[in-house]
Amino acid sequence: ATDEPITDELWDDLEALLIQADVGVETTMYLVNRTKDRCNRYGVKRAREARDMLKAEMVRVLQEQERRQPVNANPSIVLVVGVNGAGKTTLIAKLAYRLKNQFGKRVLLAAGDTFRAAATEQLETWAERVGVPVISRGQGADPGAVVYDAIEAVSGGDFDVLIIDTAGRLHAKTNLMLELQKLRNIIRRKFPDAPHEVLLVIDATTGQNGVLQAKSFLKAVDVTDVAVTKLDGTAKGGIAFAIAQDIERPIRYVGTGEKMTDLALFDAETFVESLFAQD
């Protein structure tokens, strides 16, 4: 079946495949039409070759973003943002675990979600499991005060990395987005070039709303990287492709489960391959 000639049905199938993976209609049409044109131009006749061209195009788009290098700083300050329930707090546990155990980094966490019930306890539980300290003030406290405390704590040179958890917020809520900017300003008072990484966490099951999420967070706090969580499910996370293309930021991390070891570095080829995998 892989050596079949190109038919209209192939384009319909590819279109359906990408739409069902949440890549989005507009992005899908763009990709499929572009591949169609190139097949015509280069006289490509086989379905498999067309499919490979489409995949290669998607990999290229993703890899182009990956060329942006992360900033090297010490201490390095990471701000983690995203909508409610995306997987921010769990991802922070995974990152802390990786930095500590693979790279021997001295990591500090900050419980900047002072809003949600037991958000602080959740991060504290993770910190204990990973074996890293956490700065917190508990529910109802001013998140700015937590961030301030954390910034003070890393000023003495005792830590290499500070990762700040924030409350989940829907990107359409202006006041909550302004609050994020406030947190960033508090960081900058002491470290003008920080945060060095602003990590946007996207749930792999997210539909077309994901692009709006990314645009808003980019605008508010200049997202530097994207993490896609919950890729261990059946969702393919195609929205992450649309996001990377739209906001021109690399996807860096992939969450593959609920344990602190369930983290992978993003790999464009693996990701695109799995988008096309039929199951």
Ligand X SMILES: Nc1nc2c(ncn2[C@@H]2O[C@H](COP(=O)(O)OP(=O)(O)OP(=O)(O)O)[C@@H](O)[C@H]2O)c(=O)[nH]1
> Which residues sit at the interface with Mg ion, rule CB under 5 A?
88-89
Which lies closer to ligand X via its Cβ, residue 54 or residue 86? 86
Report the nearest approach of other proteins to the CB of residue 61 (Å): 20
Q: Euclidean distance between the first and final Cα of the chain, in Å?
A: 17
Position among 11, 31, 51, 82 found at the interface with ligand X (CB under 6 A): 82
Distance separating alpha carbons of residues 88 and 126, to the nearest angstrom: 12
For 142, the token pair is 């001013």
Distance separating alpha carbons of residues 125 and 139, to the nearest angstrom: 15
Residues 220-259 that bind K ion (CB under 5 A): 231
Which lies closer to ligand X via its Cβ, residue 35 or residue 224? 224
Sheet bearing 76-81, strands edge to edge: 134-135, 107-112, 161-166, 76-81, 197-203, 225-229, 251-255, 263-265
Dihedral pair phi/psi, residue 108, rounded to 5°: -120, 135
Q: Is 229 in the site for ligand X (CB under 6 A)?
A: yes
Report the nearest approach of Mg ion to the CB of residue 168 (Å): 6
Q: Is 236 in the site for ligand X (CB under 6 A)?
A: no
List residues binding other proteins (CB under 8 A). Answer: 16, 19-22, 24-26, 83-87, 115-119, 121-122, 124-126, 129, 139, 167-168, 170-173, 203, 205-210, 212-213, 230, 232-235, 239, 258
| Biggest alpha carbon–alpha carbon distance for the chain | 65
Quick one: DSSP state of residue 205?
Answer: T
> Footprint of ligand X on this chain (CB under 6 A)?
82, 84-90, 113, 116, 119, 168, 170, 229-230, 232-233, 255-258, 262
